[in-house]
């Protein structure tokens, strides 16, 4: 990567691709190096143009939403990073109770907007600090609900620039997983099928209850990525970590949260490597105690140290 490269303008000069942009402030962990090239499109046309440019240059492409559930290495990312932070648009269809939302739309805000209309189906999403695009890729969920339960269709961008519509049966949804993880395609927008079988007061009360529960049981006073590990049901990852005596354990500037052991905090100017090493240490200790390897839910991007 080079810091002296000038910006590149594409799409008749309307679209600026910047070199060497720090990604640390764009993740909820507040760690990570720089993108070799970076753009935050303001509309789908700019997204398509930047995606086409990267493909023409044979560059790797990374899509970045809210930066939650994500750990970017200290070395940064090669190729083009496309942030969906400005792709925030949604429409509500009263006749069908369908919601269409762009990839960068905030999931908690969408949940509240649906609740205020008395539309149920997204109450579980109110405390998830992510975007629609991330939720579709990860099959985000909480409180017994998940993205797969309410998805009507997903619009993704093909490598040749065309838009493909995927139905739920095409998504291969599993616990915190979808086909978009195995075969990455840029998510443009999702359409969700909600229902109006409750009063607005009921839906708002349930939504508020879910939010209150998350705020009371999960740490939000320090930067984190949310839950680090997938729950190896019937046990939870947090319980296994706590029973291994790791609550409050620190490594470098990273710490296992006291409030919820499945959270790792950037408690003292941690590096991505600190967090990565603590994730591995927790896995090691839980495996020693329970003969079970915790699988990370957090997505790790870039180069990290070799674990021996």
Q: Just list the catalytic residues.
A: 176, 227, 297
Contact between 272 and 72 (Cβ < 8 Å): yes
Give, to the nearest 10 degrees, the angle between helix 107-116 and helix 200-217: 150
List CB contacts of 234: < 8 A, sequence separation 6 or more: none
For residue 292, count CB atoms less than 10 angstroms from its CB and return exposed for 0-12, middle for 13-18, buried for 19 or more.
Answer: middle
Burial of 181-190, coded b for 16+ CB within 10 Å and e otherwise, reads eeeebbbbbb
For residue 79, count CB atoms less than 10 angstroms from its CB and return exposed for 0-12, middle for 13-18, buried for 19 or more.
Answer: middle
CA distance 82 to 44: 12
Paired sense of beta strands 98-102 and 34-39, if any: unpaired
SS (H, E, C) 19-48: EEEECHHHCCCCCCCEEEEEECCCCHHHHH
Largest Cα–Cα distance in the chain?
59
């Amino acid at each position: 990567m080079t810091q002296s490269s000038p910006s590149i303008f594409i799409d008749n000069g309307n679209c600026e691709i910047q070199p060497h942009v720090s990604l640390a402030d764009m993740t909820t962990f507040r760690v990570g190096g720089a993108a070799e090239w970076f753009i935050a499109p303001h509309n789908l046309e700019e997204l398509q143009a930047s995606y086409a440019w990267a493909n023409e240059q044979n560059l790797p492409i990374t899509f970045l939403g809210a930066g939650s559930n994500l750990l970017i290495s200290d070395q940064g990312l090669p190729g083009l990073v496309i942030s969906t932070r400005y792709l925030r648009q949604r429409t509500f269809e009263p006749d069908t109770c369908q919601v269409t939302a762009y990839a960068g739309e905030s999931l908690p805000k969408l949940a509240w907007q649906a609740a205020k209309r008395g539309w149920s189906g997204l109450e579980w999403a109110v405390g998830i600090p992510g975007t629609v695009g991330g939720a579709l890729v990860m099959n985000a969920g909480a409180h017994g609900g998940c993205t797969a339960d309410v998805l009507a269709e997903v619009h993704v961008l093909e490598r040749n620039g065309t838009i493909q519509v995927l139905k739920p049966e095409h998504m291969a949804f599993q616990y915190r997983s979808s086909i978009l993880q195995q075969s990455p395609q840029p998510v443009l927008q999702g359409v969700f099928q909600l229902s109006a079988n409750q009063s607005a007061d009921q839906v708002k009360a349930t939504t508020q209850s879910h939010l209150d529960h998350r705020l009371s049981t999960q740490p939000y006073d320090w930067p984190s990525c949310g839950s680090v590990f997938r729950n190896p049901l019937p046990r939870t990852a947090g319980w296994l970590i706590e029973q291994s005596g790791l609550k409050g354990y620190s490594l470098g500037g990273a710490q296992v949260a006291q409030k919820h052991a499945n959270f790792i905090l950037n408690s003292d100017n941690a590096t991505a490597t600190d967090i990565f090493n603590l994730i591995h240490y927790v896995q090691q200790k839980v495996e020693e105690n329970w003969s079970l390897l915790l699988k990370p839910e957090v997505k790790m991007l870039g180069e990290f140290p070799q674990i021996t």
